[in-house]
Structure 1
């Protein structure tokens, strides 16, 4: 599935986190590098993991996930962040990284993978449903306090 110039790694070092920031920032545009590192430190304490697909020596796609447990999904992986660098979109990198996350989830005993996607992201929804067999099964709501 991965080309010989591609690899997927769990990012664990400060240098790797900094390398991933410009890609993640394309999705989370409100984050400064400092705030990203602050939040990442807190999120990692509650199980957040950041994975990256590298093409040659550069990150092209990142995914932020955590293994969760609740009454309705039982043990599952939640994908908080998935972004492919603008110069590398529609080349299969997001697909490859999510397929890797599928296998990671299975090997960690998960029964489902869940994610949320903005209502306006119609093309992303088609990608999740048609290419990866995700199903729309609920609405997600939030309230600003």
Structure 2
């Protein structure tokens, strides 16, 4: 069994370049079309971003478009996670760490977009947004009602 060598980390400047380049190709990459032509144009956009990253890379590391795409998604995810953690803080302790420039760009890209969060420890056997309706309830029922501020 051969051990795989650990990949090199993306530098902060590379991460910023990924986020800025994504902004240039955002309309192509985020198109809501599932045709083969749309998939090909998205792939081409990611390849152009990877090419731009590789040209500006002083260390000579050549990133594939797939690696760049995964890194972009990881930056977005870590930005969302840090935003969520910041929102859940109750006070006290050391100040929150500053966002990296790439994470700040990721948060700007997602500003105003809906954020979907699950319930900790919860699970579902159906996909989110499923249109299946059932006329019976299985297990314990819980009702949630809004409390007035005077109670």
Q: Say which one has the larger Rg.
A: 2
Scaled by the length of structure 1, the TM-score of the pair is 0.25
- Which of 1 and 2 has higher RCO (CA within 8 Å, sep 6+)? 2
Of Structure 1 and Structure 2, which has the larger fraction of its residues in strand?
1
TM-score (norm 2): 0.24
Compare the two structures and name the one with the higher helix fraction: 2
